[in-house]
Structure 1
C-alpha cells in the first residue's frame, strides 16, 4: 500500500513517525539521498553529509536511533529515502542505492519498493510530498487513521492527479 501526503507536515518525520513508533523501532533503516532544513540532531548531520559524499552512499541505523533522530526536532526533510528492513541490511551496490531526486520510477511505479527487503519505505520528494509504502496494509490503514488527508496511490495517474 502506498500513501501520498501533500498537506500540512508531509515532510516532517517528527510528525509522521509517532503513529508508527512500534513498527519503526522494530526495523533497521537504510537512510539515503538525505537533505534537511531546520534544527536537527547531530545524527542527521552525519547522515546528510554521507548522502553528499561519493561514498558510502547511505547510512544504516537501528529503528530506535532512527526514531529518536527525527522525533522532537523541528526539521523538514526536503529529500530522502528511508527503507525499514527486518534484520540486517546487506551491502547495497552503488547502482541500487535508493534515491528520490530524479527518480522517475516514483512516478511510473508508485507502489514499487526501491529496496527489495523493505517493510516500510518513506520517500520525501522536494519537500512537496512524501510517499509512505507499507508491505502490511494493516499498518498502512493504521497510518491513514492518524493522517486522513493521505491518499492511496496505485498508478501513475494517481500520482499525477495531485498536479492537475
Structure 2
C-alpha cells in the first residue's frame, strides 16, 4: 500500500513517525539521499553528508536510533529515502541504492518498493510530499486514521492528481 501526504507536516518525520513507532523501532533503516532543513543533530549531519558524495552512499541505522533522532525535532526532510528492513541489511550494489531526486519510478511505479527487502519505505520528495509504502495494509490503514488527509495511491494517475 502506498500513501501520499501532501498537506500539513508531510516532510517532518518527527510528526509522522509516532504513528508507526513500534514498527519503526523494530526495523533496521537504510537512509539515503538525505537533505534536511532546520537545526539537527551531529548524527543527522553524518547521514546527510554521506548523501552529498558523487556516488549514492547510504547509512544503516537501528530503528530506535532512527525514531529518537527525528521525533521531537522541528526538522524538515527536503529529500530522503528511508527503507525499513527486518533483520540485517545486506550490502546494496551501487545501481540499487534508493534515491528520490530524478527517479522516474516514483511517478511511474508508485507501488513498487525501491529495495525488495523493505517492509516500510518513506520517501520525502523535495519538501513537497511524502510517500509511505507499507507491505502490511493494516499498518497503512492505521496510519490513515492519524493522517486522514493522506490518500492511497494505486496508479501513476493517482500520483499526478495534485500536480
TM-score range, shorter chain: over 0.9
TM-score, scaled to structure 1:
0.97
Q: Quick check: which one's helix share is greater?
A: 1
Residue ranges of structure 1 left out of the alignment (5+ in a row): none
* Offset of residue 69 of structure 1: 1.0
Residue matched to 1:50: 50
Number of residue equivalences:
163
SS at match of 2:73: coil
* Offset of residue 131 of structure 1: 0.2
Residue matched to 1:99: 99
Superimposed CA distance per residue, residues 123-147 of structure 1 (whole angstroms, 9 cap, x where no aligned partner)? 0000000000000000000100010
Moved runs in structure 1, 4+ residues, more than 2 A?
none
Superimposed CA distance per residue, residues 15-63 of structure 1 (whole angstroms, 9 cap, x where no aligned partner)? 0000100000000000000000001121110000001124570000000
Work out the CA distance in 2 between the residues paired with 1:103 and 1:56: 13
Work out the CA distance in 2 between the residues paired with 1:113 and 1:105: 10
Superposition RMSD on alpha carbons, in Å? 0.9
What pairs with 1:1-164 in structure 2 (closer than 5 Å)? 1-54=1-54, 57-163=57-163
Work out the CA distance in 1 between the residues paired with 2:65 and 2:132: 19
Work out the CA distance in 2 between the residues paired with 1:112 and 1:6: 19
Work out the CA distance in 2 between the residues paired with 1:99 and 1:67: 21
